């Protein structure tokens, strides 16, 4: 019985290369989609955290360092004696 060759070596190589390219393109698309989803989740988490921190910030009047009045001048009783 004589065996007939269905494909040449070059044809098999080209078929395999094409299948690998298609598989790689599919994997890249899947990876890009997963990466974009993760980056989007991370960004949304950062925005929520940032908003939470801003909302927790006390009003500006309560943020002044001790010994500084509203005009940012040192109170006279806190000025060192060598400066008065």
39 in a structural domain: yes
What is the C-alpha to C-alpha distance for residues 33 and 40, in angstroms, rounded to an integer? 10
22 in a structural domain: yes
CA angle (45 as vertex; 39, 43 as ends), nearest 5: 35
For position 2, what pLDDT does the model report?
73
Long-range contacts of 54-61 (CB under 8 A, 24+ apart): none
29 in a structural domain: yes
44 in a structural domain: yes
The tally of domains found in the chain comes to 1
37: domain range? 8-55
26-71 per-position pLDDT tens digit? 999 999 999 999 999 999 999 999 999 888 887 766 565 665 555 5
11-21 per-position pLDDT tens digit? 999 999 999 99
Which 3 state secondary structure label does DSSP give 78? Answer: helix
65 in a structural domain: no
Which 3 state secondary structure label does DSSP give 74? Answer: strand
Q: Which two tokens stand for residue 65?
A: 């360092």
Whether the full predicted model's pTM is greater than 0.75, yes or no, is no
């Amino acid at each position: 019985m004589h065996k007939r060759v269905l494909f040449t070596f070059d044809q098999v190589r080209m078929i395999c290369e094409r299948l690998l390219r298609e598989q790689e393109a599919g994997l890249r698309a899947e990876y890009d989609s997963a990466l974009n989803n993760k980056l989007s989740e991370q960004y949304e988490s950062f925005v929520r955290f940032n908003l939470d921190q801003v909302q927790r910030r006390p009003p500006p009047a309560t943020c002044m360092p001790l010994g500084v009045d509203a005009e940012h001048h040192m109170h006279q009783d806190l000025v060192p004696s060598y400066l008065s």
